[in-house]
A = this chain, B = another copy of it.
Amino acid sequence: MPRSILTVKCMKSSTPITETLRHISVDGVVLGYGDGKLKVLLRRESIEHDGKVTIEWKLPGHHIRSNETVEETAIRTLYEQTGMRNIFLKQFHVFSSLDRLHRREFDFAWIRKHGVGEWRVITVGFYALVNLKNISLADMSPEAEWREISGIGELIFDHREILDAALEKIRHDLYLEPVLFELLPDKFTLTDLQNIYELIMGRSVDKRNFRRKAISKAYIVPLAERQTGVAHRAAGYYMFNRKIFDKEMQED
């Protein structure tokens, strides 16, 4: 019986061997901002069924290894997919429906193709916010693609449900504190900040109120620099001061 189809739990061996835990995975909802659009990282999967090949989409995710926490799995996955480290990452929900991998024909087809998934798998959903400018496309896995949120249709497995749950959670978390800086370049205008806020929240907000609130935060610091070469009044740049932010957060 070849070792590769056995997992660590089946072994009597007392030496710790790094192995994959097939019943537990992590799926990441990674949001990025670029070209004025809110995007999510998906993996392209070509699937054969009924003799036709279709393209389906999937959230990036991996099974956890026996020597990592779920957080470490999420960090590793994100690094492998985008080449990025030091990303804001947060676990938000466990998905464990019995039929989550077996809802539609292309779910079965994907599983047949990859020869996995005979097993029950529960998954821990994470969300992450990243700035597309910081990502070199060369570092990204070739199947990975940033797709605009508003155009996403069905996804493989229960990934559409996971995506929607992540968005809901992000909106909730954002209501408390605008952790949007992860999505933005180092210097940004308040209009940039507001654009992203509105994209995520799915509604527009009053400019004056939004600016007042943003400026009142000590961790959003104005820079002397302004835009140049724009065909309208030049906006002032701001930056995010993580030290002040972290200090304020730990006071709560």
Interface residues of A (CB under 8 A from B): 6-10, 21-24, 64, 66-71, 91, 93-94, 96-98, 118-120, 122, 124
Contact = CB atoms under 8 A, between A and B. Distances in A.
A128 B23 CA distance: 26
The oligomer's copy count stands at: 2
13 contacts: A6-B10, A9-B9, A9-B119, A21-B23, A21-B120, A23-B23, A24-B122, A66-B120, A69-B97, A70-B122, A71-B96, A91-B93, A94-B94
A94 B70 CA distance: 8
Contacts of A64: 96, 122
A119 B69 CA distance: 14
Contacts of A6: 10
A23 to B, nearest CB: 5
Contacts of A24: 23-24, 122
B93 A69 contact: no
A142 B120 CA distance: 32
Which of the listed residues A6, A10, A68, A97 has the most CB atoms from chain B within 10 Å of its own CB? A10
A70 B91 contact: no
Given A67-B98, A91-B93, A96-B71, A10 B8 contact: no
A97 B70 CA distance: 8
Nearest to A119: B9
Given A24-B122, A66-B120, 8 more contacts: A6-B10, A8-B120, A9-B22, A9-B119, A9-B120, A24-B24, A70-B96, A70-B122
Which of the listed residues A68, A93, A94, A98 has the most CB atoms from chain B within 10 Å of its own CB? A94
B70 A119 contact: no
Contact of A10 (B7, B66, B71, B122): B7
Contacts of A69: 96-98
B9 A94 contact: no
B10 A94 contact: no
Contacts of A70: 94, 96, 122
